[in-house]
A and B are shown apart, each in its own frame.
Chain A
Amino acid sequence: MARAVTTKQKAINTAFALGVALLIFFPILWTILTSFKTEAQAINDPPIFFFFDWTLENYYAVQERSDYMKFLWNSIFIAGGSTLLGIIIAVPAAWSMAFVPSKRTKDILLWMLSTKMLPAVGVLYPIYLLFIELGLLDSRGGLAFVLMLINLPIMVWMLYTYFKEIPVDILEAARMDGASLRDEILYVLTPMAIPGIASTILLNIILAWNEAFWTLNLTAAKAAPLTQFIASYSSPEGLFFAKLSAASVMAIAPILVLGWFSQKQLVRGLTFGAVK
């Protein structure tokens, strides 16, 4: 029997959902609000919500003091580069695991995922030393490579679950129809897997963009992405909350916009396989 949902119940559910959403969104909202306040208003007690003198002075100050474009470009390079590298490795890997599995395929997948359970700081020391040795410290390429490694398990898993949903019959039909391996991948598999590949790329860009531990530890000035940009406003300047907020807003804005426009794709990508 279908559950009868009364209007009152619906209203309560909606209010509850809105409450949870607001709770999650509040820090971001607060950051955005604070970025438009003066430093004095930002630390005012009790806090001021909307009725302050809206100002853009923090944004001017941040623009003057540091080269936002350089950090932005580094972030784009690192997030994009690690994603591109990752997809080049993950697609064939997931492919073979989904369509020509061996006895150990499940073990390999679990082992890969288990590397995500290790605290990142546990391998900081060896990776740091390797970076010094290889001269990769503060280089965008090196960082993109490390972030690719960090996110590779997730990419392979996501693509694997996607490919698993593609009936192997269809690939066999293509083979019977005279398709070479290249034709099969190009004309049959890829078009069918495009939603999966797209959401994997999106998620990975977001993860790489937001990654702070490795970006903060392995870069200094040259290759510093937006995470460094934010961090540089928190430590040396002490409690300049308004400027810090303005920097944060500038750093998260691009990814927020990307996430907003691709949310449908993302939700589908993340729940794929769970709901048939």
Chain B
Amino acid sequence: MGRIVLNQVSKSFGSTEVIPPLDLAIEDGEFAVFVGPSGCGKSTLLRLIAGLEDVSGGVVQIDGKDMTDVPPAKRGLAMVFQSYALYPHMTVRKNIAFPLRMAKMPKAEVNKRVNDAAEILNLTDYIDRRPGQLSGGQRQRVAIGRAIVREPSAFLFDEPLSNLDAALRGGMRLEISEMHKRLDTTMIYVTHDQVEAMTMADKIVVLQAGVIEQVGSPLELYRAPCNVFVAGFIGSPRMNLLTGAEAQKHNATTIGIRPEHLSISNESGTWEGTVGVSEHLGSDSFFHVQCAAFENPLTVRADGGLELSYGSKVFLSPDMAHMHYFDANGLRIE
């Protein structure tokens, strides 16, 4: 049970307002991802929910109860930190048992829960080691174990995977998603990696400079970004955002077309250009094409089999059904 509601919540450090008043509701059992560039206030927002920072204004509700002035220990939330934040002087077993010990749970129950958690997370072989003797991935598991044993009303993740290498990150991503499906508990996940946001979230909250730009499911954000910022932030490689005469033709200040919605041809097309750098991923190839009509090169996705040499002449055609239009204020035009 963990419906989290923020009502006109704001945060200032001294005279600097990092989060202007905002409203947000995260439903029970939902996987919400806060995403945005570094310094956008996503971590601060998470810490406000956790109670590690005091709000400057507004109300934080968890399960319908006003938790604004309740200390973090009493909010019934569990948090996984970017640095893992394990207790270095305790063994894995003691680390995982710590929240249960704090809750004054009987010893037998503590042991049972710790063993169960260790089993689920493949930590049984390391249970008597200290964090210093574990690899990054194992430490991350211990941190997650410490969070799940106490069966919190919601999990908070603060960029939990950013210290892991790419291969491990992919695996842990799946494990966390799997865990969410199994536990069916509210999770709030902070990341600057939009791939993590797209792959894991039920609901993405895009933040910039402390302001919520858009809230929606990954596909809603992908299909209908509400402004230029979200359009450029969600999707990989990022959307081509074009200004100038071509945009004027569509009565827009900016037009946007994703790399996957551009087709490339040797003979004919809407825009003529020269091929710059090519990136071959095997399954796909990305070409950076400089067109005369635009200042910046366009990124185009093509089939992995296509090979074009540097400097060769090509034509690009946008799929008009997937074209996005934005006005002078950067807002979406339907």
Contact = CB atoms under 8 A, between A and B. Distances in A.
Nearest to B75: A176
Contacts of A188: 87
A179 B89 contact: no
Given A192-B88, A192-B89, A175 B72 contact: yes
28 contacts: A167-B83, A169-B81, A169-B83, A169-B85, A170-B86, A170-B87, A170-B88, A173-B81, A173-B86, A173-B87, A175-B51, A175-B52, A175-B72, A175-B73, A176-B78, A176-B79, A176-B156, A177-B102, A177-B146, A178-B73, A178-B74, A178-B99, A179-B73, A179-B98, A179-B102, A180-B102, A187-B98, A191-B89
A180 B73 CA distance: 7
Interface residues of A, number: 17
B103 interface: yes
B4 interface: no
Residue of B83, B98, B103, B146 ringed by the most chain A CB atoms within 10 A: B98
Q: Report whether over half of chain A's contact residues are helix, strand or loop; otherwise say mixed.
A: helix
Contacts of B311: none
Contacts of B71: 175
B50 A176 contact: yes
Contacts of B40: none
Given A170-B87, A179-B102, A183-B102, 13 more contacts: A167-B83, A169-B82, A172-B52, A172-B81, A173-B79, A175-B71, A176-B73, A176-B77, A176-B79, A177-B98, A178-B74, A179-B98, A192-B87
Interface in B39-61: 50-52
B85 A167 contact: yes
A173 B73 contact: no
A175 B99 CA distance: 9
A172 to B, nearest CB: 5
Contacts of A173: 79, 81, 85-87, 146
B288 interface: no
B150 A178 contact: yes
Nearest to A166: B88
A172 B84 CA distance: 11
Contacts of B72: 172, 175-176
B96 to A, nearest CB: 10
A177 B81 contact: no
A28 to B, nearest CB: 38
